[in-house]
Amino acid sequence: MLFKQQALLRQKLFVLGSLAIGSLLYLVARVGSLDRLQPLCPIEGRFGPRGQDEIPLRALQFKRGLLHEFRKGNATKEQIRLHNLVQQLPKAIIIGVRKGGTRALLEMLNLHPAVVKASQEIHFFDNDENYAKGIEWYRKKMPFSYPHQITIEKSPAYFITEEVPERIYKMNSSIKLLIIVREPTTRAISDYTQVLEGKERKNKTYYKFEKLAIDPNTCEVNTKYKAVRTSIYTKHLERWLKYFPIEQFHIVDGDRLITEPLPELQLVEKFLNLPPRISQYNLYFNATRGFYCLRFNIVFNKCLAGSKGRIHPEVDTSVITKLRKFFHPFNQKFYQITGRTFNWP
């Protein structure tokens, strides 16, 4: 009997000892993992030496939580005043292009603690009715932010709408402008695919891409087709250059943003004069989706909407060849103006 009790006691002590060792090992591993994360998201000195241009630490603490609540309208005026929050006009705008990756670019830039994004496309400068409501209406559409943060909005229709450059210039002649482009023929097909999907959801029929992109009377590229016109980047950019110097534009490679996003984001950080904060830790490849997703911290991840990355319909190779030949001289001029060359056919 005594032997049994001693054996039972030894068994209990063994279990308790194992639990204690396991807990200790967990804590060591946990601290180690946090240490490994520290260089990516340090608390002390996140923005380097303290100074006038430092972004307050509280901006980091509240950005994902408190600012989100304020965007939903769950804040009093007193709370807004106490936290020194404002609705700022954007200091940078993603002006285009449609189906170039504007949403992906905006969401990825929002990884930066100094950036606050407008969640919806505002369509202030390209919509006469909205523009008539005035600049204060536009400001009220912006998210709450801290004074040191940069507000960014994106409305890809801005790039191709004639009135927009002058209207933005009147608001802020020194604003920074972001343009994200893809290979022009691929972009045109992507544009068509989005419209086609919308028609199919409504059980409507739609022309094949070939019939829209090629004029049946001349058998040449149909420049009246909007998806084709949008891809003539240089024509639209020349209109913007009447108001803004080329130094105020940054061209983002939309194709590279899909396959290798970090170098593109680092170039944008530099253009916006932001301290480099987006790292490979913030971007992870989702094999199921076939795209990079975003990691804000150890608990909050985000992938783009399922509508991104639609499968394109098969297009006649002769039409693709004709389109690429048509876009080629415009592409060459675009390279010359922007100083950035792409591997487009």
Tell me if 308 is assigned to a ligand binding site: yes
> Is 53 within a domain?
no
Residue with more model confidence, 191 or 69: 191
Local structure of residue 258 (DSSP, 8 states): H
Question: What's the rounded Cα separation, in Å, for the pair 242 and 340?
Answer: 20
Average pLDDT in the 321-332 region?
A: 98
**pLDDT given at position 303:** 87
DSSP letters for 62-77: HHTTHHHHHHTT---H
Give per-residue pLDDT as tens, 36-78: 333 333 323 333 333 333 444 344 444 555 555 555 555 666 6
Average pLDDT in the 120-134 region?
A: 97
**pLDDT given at position 25:** 43
**pLDDT given at position 50:** 34
Residue with more model confidence, 62 or 314: 314
Tell me if 312 is assigned to a ligand binding site: yes
Please give the span between the terminal C-alpha atoms of the chain, in angstroms, as a whole number: 88
Tell me if 154 is assigned to a ligand binding site: no
* Full domain range(s) for residue 222: 84-338
> Is 156 within a domain?
yes
State the average pLDDT for the chain.
83
**pLDDT given at position 37:** 32
Tell me if 101 is assigned to a ligand binding site: yes
Strand stretches in 217-307, DSSP E? 249-253, 283-286, 291-295, 301-302
Question: What's the rounded Cα separation, in Å, for the pair 111 and 296?
Answer: 6
Question: What's the rounded Cα separation, in Å, for the pair 109 and 118?
Answer: 12
**pLDDT greater than 70 at residue 232:** yes
**pLDDT greater than 70 at residue 131:** yes
> Is 24 within a domain?
no
Among all residues, which ones are annotated catalytic? Answer: 99
Tell me if 51 is assigned to a ligand binding site: no
> Is 75 within a domain?
no
Give per-residue pLDDT as tens, 151-176: 999 999 999 999 999 999 999 999 99
Tell me if 119 is assigned to a ligand binding site: no
Take residue 179 and report the two structure tokens written for it. Answer: 């343009």
> Is 153 within a domain?
yes
**pLDDT greater than 90 at residue 145:** yes
Tell me if 64 is assigned to a ligand binding site: no
3-state secondary structure at position 270: helix
> Is 135 within a domain?
yes
Least confident of 6-20, 21-35, 239-253: 21-35
**pLDDT given at position 11:** 56
Residue with more model confidence, 18 or 220: 220
Average pLDDT in the 94-105 region?
A: 96
Identify the CA nearest to 231 among candidates 309, 341, 331, 315: 331
DSSP letters for 107-153: HHHTTSTTEEE-SS----SS-HHHHTT-HHHHHHTSPEE-TTSEEEE
Count of domains for the chain: 1
Average pLDDT in the 195-202 region?
A: 91
Percent of the chain with pLDDT over 70: 75
Take residue 43 and report the two structure tokens written for it. Answer: 């608390």
Assign residue 173 the CATH number of its domain.
Answer: 3.40.50.300
Q: Are 308 and 169 in contact (CB under 8 A)?
A: no
Question: What's the rounded Cα separation, in Å, for the pair 319 and 178?
Answer: 30
Tell me if 48 is assigned to a ligand binding site: no
Local structure of residue 47 (DSSP, 8 states): T
